A and B are shown apart, each in its own frame.
Chain A
C-alpha cells in the first residue's frame, strides 16, 4: 500500500474522555494519504490527528471502532476479525462501536468495496501494536525479556513459567509505554491467523433472528415525532401549492413544513417539497395525502426514458468524444478480415434497498444529533451543516445498521430533511421515506446505450475493439457540477480489463442527466461487463468457435502496456492470469461442456473490478413459453485474501441474485420527468424462486487485497444472456430479458 501509517498512543487525558471509557489503553492508527505528505505536512503533525480504531479498557474489553458502516456486506464482522486477530483477543471480549462521523477516522465513505482492502494494514498494525505493548508490559512485570512472553487469547503467557496475565491486568502499564515504531511490531503470519481468513458468524445474526437490531427506520427517541414529505415529481420542479388546513385536520398531524428548493448543482441536496410532521407515521401519511400538493414543472419535466434512449443512439451515431485509445483502431478495423458490430442497452436501475431511507434528528441545546442509514457519516455532516447553520464537526452523526444500501445511502438528502424538520419542530423527528418515495426520488443507475465494433483477422482473433457508450454521468451527483457525458472514470472500465487487445478505442457520447444519477453496486461495470461479455460470445458464434476458447485467447496483456507507466486503472502484469484463473475455475465447477437437458445452456463471463477478479457460470433453462430459469450458478473470486470468507461467500451468492434482477426483470422508466414505477409490484426484483443455488470458489494468494461487495455483480448479466444463447440460440442485447423470449 502506498499510504503511510502512523500509530500513536493517545493521551488518556484527551481521548479516554471523548471515547466515553472509564480509563484504559487507547491506541490509534491512521492512514495518511501519501499525497498529504508530499504537500509538506510534517510527520509530527500527522501524528497529532490520528484515527482511532481500537481501545482496550480497564476491564480488558477491546473496543473496535468500526468506522465503516454495516449494510449487509459484513464489514463490522470483517474489520473486527482483523483487530481481534492481531491483538490476540478473545472474540467474546470485543465490543464493536458503530461508526459515527469524525474525520479522525479517515475516509468513512463505505463505497467502492474499499473497507477491508484500504484498512487491512492500518487495522492490523494498530492491533498488533497493542499486542506488542501488552507483551512488553507483561515482560516488565515478570522482569523477563519480551522473547519470553507471548500474547494468546486475551492473556499474555510467560513461556518459561507458564504464568499468565489477563489483558485487564496489563492495560495500565501498557498505556504508559512508548509506542513502538510500526516496523518494530511483528504482524502475525498467515498461518497464525485464527480470525482473519476464517469463517466467523456475522456478529448481528442473532439480533437479526430475534428482531432486535436497530435500523434507521427503527430509531426511537424520547418525545419523537414522525414525518414524511411530498417532493416534486421531476428533479428541479418546485412546490406550487398545498392544502395546509386539510392536512392539519388529520388527527395526529402536528405541523406542515416547506422544505428548501433545490439549487443548481444537484449533489446530495434534498429535492424540496413539503413535509408533514405528526404523532405517528400513519397520521403523517394521511396528512401528506390530504395536502394535495401541486408542483410547478422544472427544466427536467420533459424527461421521457423512451425518447431519451433514442437520443442516446443518436449520440452513439455521432461518434462521441474519445476518452481512451490504444494502438490504431481505425487502421486495424480497415485491415481486418471481418467486422462485427452490436448494440447493447440497459435501462435505469434502482437500488431498492429493503429499508427505504430514514433519518432521526434531535436538537439539544443547539447541538444536532442524527441517527441515520448513511454510507458515509462525514458526508451527512458536510451535507446537513449548511442547511442548519452549524459546523459539520459539531453534528453528531451515527450510522445505524443499514437495511441494504447498494450506493443509494451514500447520498444523504434524507438526513438534511430530518435535520430541518427537527429544528423546526423543536423535538426529535424521524423522517422516513416510503417505498414510493424511494422509487420516485432516487439516484438511479444510468440508462445506457453501447455500440461495440470489433475487427477480426482470418483466424477469428480480435484485432480491433471500438467501443462507444452514451449514458448520463454520475459526476453531477458526485461533484455538484453538471457533466454532459459519461467520463473516462466511468467508461474506462473497458480498458481496465486484462485483455490482449492491441487496438482499443473508447468513446463517450453526449448524455446530459435529467434525473439524479448515482452509483449502484458495481457501478458502470454493470453495463460494460454486459456489452463486453456479450460481444466475446458473439465473436465465438460468428467464427464458429467455443466461447471458452475466445475468452481464453483474450486474457492477456495488451503489449503496449507492458514496459511503460500504466494509465489509470490499466491492468497489471499478473491480472490476465488471475482473470483467466477464475474463468477456468467456474468452467470447471460447472462442468462446462457436459451434456445438458433440452433448451438448457451454460453461459460464462469474467470481469476485473474493485481490485478483484470474478467469473460466473450460469446454467440457464428457457422453457417453451420463454420463461428463463437459472437453477444453478457457480462463481469465483480472487480478492487476494478473503478476510471474512463466509461474508465474501455471502456477497458472491447475493451478487448473483442482484445481477439476475438487473438481467431478468428490473427496469425503471420515466415519463414527464416522473418515475413511473411505484413499488415492488412494478419495479421487480428476484424472488426466492428466481434465486439459483450458487457455489462460490474463493481464491487465496499473496496479491494485494481486492474488494468483495461489488465485484460479483458484473459477470452475472452477460453469463445469463450467453447462457440463453447457448440454450436456445437467441441473443439478448437489451436488458432486462423480461418478456423478450415470450411468444
Chain B
C-alpha cells in the first residue's frame, strides 16, 4: 500500500492507505482523530470540514493522495494551546445542541475569519451555507461569529 506524507496539526505525518481513501477515513479510522465527523460522504453537509493549507475543505471528498505535502488542520489542532477566540465565543453563546456538526461549523467559521476578520452577515451565511445543523443552532452560530468579529 502506498505511503502518504503531509503535516497534520503541525506535525509531520505519514500513513499507508489506498490512493482513493478519503482524508476523512484516514483521520478517523487510521489516525484515530474522530473530531472530524462523517455526515454525508458526498460533500453536501460540511460535518467533516477541515483546513487544507488554510482553506476549508470537506475531508470526505478529498483523497489522501491529494493532500501530500499539505498542511492539514482538524478541530483537534485548531488551537492546541487552549481555546481560541472562536471556540470561546462558541461556548459563551452556548451554540451546540447535539454537537455533532459543530466541529465542521467551527472549522468553516475559522477559515472565514482567517480570510475576513470582520465578515458581514451575508458573508457569514455564504461561508457556512454548506454546513448543515439539524438541531437548528444557526442563530447562535451567527452570533458566535459576530462576537469574534466584534471583539476583533
Contacts and interface: CB of A to CB of B under 8 A. Distances in A.
Given A435-B40, A688-B141, A74 B97 contact: yes
B94 A646 contact: yes
A701 interface: no
B53 interface: no
A653 B98 contact: no
Interface stretch (A97-105, A214-222, A324-332): A214-222
A404 B97 CA distance: 8
Interface stretch (A13-21, A60-68, A254-262, A655-663): A655-663
Contact of B139 (A205, A210, A218, A691): A691
A653 B139 contact: yes
A208 B96 contact: yes
Contacts of B37: 215, 217-218, 354-355, 403
Q: Which of B47, B95, B136, B138 has the most chain A CB atoms closer than 10 A to its own CB? A: B136
Nearest to A212: B35
Contacts of A653: 136-137, 139-140
B70 to A, nearest CB: 19
A353 B38 contact: no
Given A281-B29, A404-B100, A205 B91 contact: yes
A434 interface: yes
B41 to A, nearest CB: 6
A282 B87 contact: no
Contacts of A654: 97, 135-137
A688 B129 contact: yes
Nearest to A693: B139
B35 A210 contact: yes
Interface stretch (A23-31, A111-119, A539-547, A678-686): A678-686
Contacts of B25: 280-282
Interface in A681-700: 681, 685-694
Contact of B98 (A210, A401, A686, A694): A401
A679 B40 contact: yes
Given A650-B137, A679-B40, A687-B129, A355 B34 contact: no
Contacts of A434: 41
Nearest to B43: A681
A650 B25 CA distance: 32
A206 B91 contact: yes
A688 B131 contact: yes
A558 B35 CA distance: 54
A654 to B, nearest CB: 4
B45 interface: yes
A214 B97 CA distance: 14
A226 interface: yes
Contact of A205 (B22, B40, B96, B135): B96
Contacts, number: 193
B42 interface: yes
Interface in B63-110: 74-76, 78-79, 83, 87, 90-91, 94-103, 106
B30 A280 contact: yes
B18 interface: yes
Contacts of A689: 125, 129
Given A403-B37, A654-B97, A691 B134 contact: no
Nearest to A199: B94
A208 B102 contact: yes
Specify the main secondary structure of chain B where it touches its partner.
loop
Contacts of A353: 98, 100, 134
B42 A251 contact: no
Interface in B99-149: 99-103, 106, 124-125, 128-142
Contact of B99 (A213, A356, A406, A432): A213
A217 B141 contact: no
A4 interface: no
Given A201-B94, A208-B102, A354-B98, A220 B76 contact: no
A691 B138 contact: yes
B32 A220 contact: yes
Given A209-B87, A280-B30, A282-B29, A356 B98 contact: no
B22 to A, nearest CB: 7
B1 interface: yes
Given A209-B83, A653-B139, A404 B94 contact: no
Contact of B103 (A206, A211, A352, A657): A211
B39 A202 contact: no
A351 to B, nearest CB: 8
A71 B75 CA distance: 21
B38 A73 contact: no
Contact of A658 (B34, B103, B136): B136
A202 B135 contact: no
Nearest to A682: B44
A211 B36 contact: yes
B39 A220 contact: no
B44 A209 contact: no
A409 B125 CA distance: 30
A204 interface: yes
Contacts of B76: 210-212
A211 B96 contact: no
A403 B44 contact: no
A217 B98 contact: no
B141 to A, nearest CB: 7
Given A210-B87, A211-B75, A251-B1, A202 B96 contact: yes
A655 B138 CA distance: 12
B136 A209 contact: no
A680 B40 contact: yes
B137 A680 contact: no
Nearest to B105: A688
Contact of B100 (A210, A355, A650): A355
B51 to A, nearest CB: 13
Contacts of B128: 688
B20, B36, B101, B132, most chain A CB atoms within 10 A: B132
Interface string A389-410: 0000000000001111110000
- Nearest first, the 10 closest Cβ-Cβ pairs linking A and B are A211-B35, A657-B136, A403-B100, A72-B98, A211-B75, A654-B136, A72-B97, A691-B138, A208-B99, A218-B34
Given A73-B97, A402-B98, 18 more contacts: A201-B91, A207-B99, A210-B75, A210-B79, A211-B103, A215-B99, A280-B21, A353-B100, A354-B133, A356-B38, A404-B134, A646-B94, A654-B97, A654-B135, A657-B135, A688-B129, A688-B142, A694-B139
5 contacts: A72-B135, A217-B38, A353-B100, A687-B130, A688-B124
